[in-house]
Structure 1
């Protein structure tokens, strides 16, 4: 069976790319599949073939259009094409980035009226919205892989796809590598964090979208709580300035990109991700597998796994008071001896890489049946 997986570029900090790498590593070990990755560029391409498609471009719209056009020309070479980009004509689409229209609606909540107007008339956004609609209504599309019920239900509502075309396959995690024993990788001493301090971790790029400002404002009401921020953002200095303005700079560590994220999980007691829109971030699966309860938003797919007060708390992305309250409840639970670590680990344990691969293989066999 010749399978193509389509993802334009590789960002080592990107959740979608990490999903593709994991899926490729698992699927390429199967004797049933001949796996090829179609991409502009990639790293660590061991165990599968890579077909490079890298047309020139002038701007981000021509970048998307050019890659989509050239990649689509290769689709006929494969039995199944699983695209992670909005390209009409694929057999399967994995909606790992969710629905663009939903993202624009959530992002507009923090924009000024002028920027909302500019967003509405953006040629790039109009192109993505059109490509998305054409892809979801294309006759070649047989299945959409959703990584959360949040995304599945949104696609069904907006594009009229029936239940037979929508399947939820949650992100898999290496439960042996991401495990509560990552505490042995703790960098608290190196980072100057007191051994007994309650520590929240934030992991991800795109600080504005994923709520670093809300996390900073939330911990300002809790002088014992520390925050470690891991990830790249071109406006990181703005958030460092905000931390100083809020008087929390001494309790916040901006780490930048971290080569081994297990050091972050091993140094923390919980993960905070007040994201405006995230279909289902890999960091949530990893953190839960490491025993970290999760404080996240209603528009994060991981909220589907949260039992309030047992393995985390869910609030609106912009509800600073709500996150302050959630932190209070978390601290009170810690003082009572609540075993959040065990509950978080128990949540993630079923969602292994093998389970993900088996569900994908079953889907491919169904399509070729």
Structure 2
């Protein structure tokens, strides 16, 4: 089986899942070609799983005109079983080539359908995105296939590497430093836990503001900015609990990564977590932008280790049952065998 991917993301949960899926398909013998932007930090993680083509594919660049012709030529020559674009920008590259099924994978809610004129099937990582595109007027195929992550448990990083003393609670979170991720609120909530330290993996435009928030709440010595990490698992393994504080999160792949390291999770009631998280069974939930509610959840789990262990176990069970590599890859392999006529009236 042959598959060609178009992916122009940079860093974040969607990119981590892209790496997981490319490697998962390779383990099942799928021959893959991927088109990505130059300088991606995760490039080395897919080098042994796919043939890589690098292109900027930006407006006002030669590649904006040349790359679509190159992709069409490769498709006609290689005759792939499927062409797969990742999110809206990459879907603009989808050729009109009619020799195989053409998929656009969505991890968020698109604002219009103009990106997908050559797409047969929109693959949504949670059901509400599928309902959303139907409301926008999408008449072709919709499939819901969620994410998976690496479930191998790893050894924790030493606290000393992050200037964190023994015996204090460690709260961990990660993502792009933008306002909707809720990290400013998380810093304020953690400040209400005596001695707790907060580890934040990621970076972005909000970095200076987050440093100012840490100073405002007396957290400068207790908030540790880890930068982008190629592998966050050892930090997760060292943490006592994980928090996903976003005001908007279509799925929440970071929660799956925390569950893989068997950590208790606290999450906002964003779109994705509302779908697969259940109060006091596999996590604790708080209302979006509710700092006090988040602080209560934090204090509850730090004080009640029995509850923390229960929801960590429940999260891991949910991960293995609902988000396993085998189930997700099986679904994609099945989809790759279908024909455009199955979805076009």
**What TM-score results when the alignment is normalised by the length of structure 1?**
0.77
2:227 corresponding residue in structure 1 = 256
Q: How does 1:150-169 map to 2 (within 5 A)?
A: 150-161=128-139, 165-169=141-145
Q: Which has the higher helix share?
A: 1
Q: Which of 63-72 and 40-49 deviates more?
A: 63-72
* Aligned pair partner of 2:150 in 174, 194, 218: 174
2:106 corresponding residue in structure 1 = 95
Q: Cα distance 1:36–1:338, how it changes in 2: closer, same or farther (>3 A)?
A: closer
Contact 1:54 1:67 in 2 (8 A): no
Distance 2:235 2:203 in 1: 14
Q: Cα distance 1:348–1:56, how it changes in 2: closer, same or farther (>3 A)?
A: closer
**Offset of residue 299 of structure 1:** 2.5
1:8 corresponding residue in structure 2 = 8
1:308 corresponding residue in structure 2 = 279
Q: Cα distance 1:37–1:333, how it changes in 2: closer, same or farther (>3 A)?
A: same
Q: Cα distance 1:197–1:344, how it changes in 2: closer, same or farther (>3 A)?
A: farther
Contact 2:169 2:195 in 1 (8 A): yes
Corresponding position: 1:329 with 2:300 = yes
1:362 corresponding residue in structure 2 = 334
2:86 corresponding residue in structure 1 = 84
**Offset of residue 66 of structure 1:** 5.9
**Offset of residue 348 of structure 1:** 1.2
Q: Cα distance 1:365–1:73, how it changes in 2: closer, same or farther (>3 A)?
A: closer
**Offset of residue 303 of structure 1:** 3.5
1:113 corresponding residue in structure 2 = none
How many equivalent pairs are there? 323
2:113 corresponding residue in structure 1 = 133
**Offset of residue 287 of structure 1:** 0.5
Q: Cα distance 1:193–1:40, how it changes in 2: closer, same or farther (>3 A)?
A: closer
Q: Which of 312-321 and 47-56 deviates more?
A: 47-56
Instruction: List runs of 5+ in structure 2 lacking aligned partners.
Output: 96-101
Q: Cα distance 1:79–1:190, how it changes in 2: closer, same or farther (>3 A)?
A: closer
Contact 1:228 1:255 in 2 (8 A): yes
* Aligned pair partner of 2:126 in 148, 156, 160: 148
Q: Cα distance 1:74–1:238, how it changes in 2: closer, same or farther (>3 A)?
A: farther
Distance 1:71 1:279 in 2: 33
1:265 corresponding residue in structure 2 = 236
Q: Which string of whole-angstrom CA distances, capped at 9 and with x for unpartnered residues, describes residues 179-233 of structure 1?
A: 3xx3x32322332334332221011122422111010111222224321111122
Distance 1:306 1:56 in 2: 38
Q: Which string of whole-angstrom CA distances, capped at 9 and with x for unpartnered residues, describes residues 85-142 of structure 1?
A: 422556111002x1243xxxxxxxxxxxxxxxxxxxxxxxxxxxxxx42234x3x432
**Offset of residue 316 of structure 1:** 3.4
2:98 corresponding residue in structure 1 = none
Q: Which string of whole-angstrom CA distances, capped at 9 and with x for unpartnered residues, describes residues 3-49 of structure 1?
A: 2111025x3x4222222222222223444x43211233352222322
Tell me the SS of whatever aligns to 1:215.
helix
**What TM-score results when the alignment is normalised by the length of structure 2?**
0.82
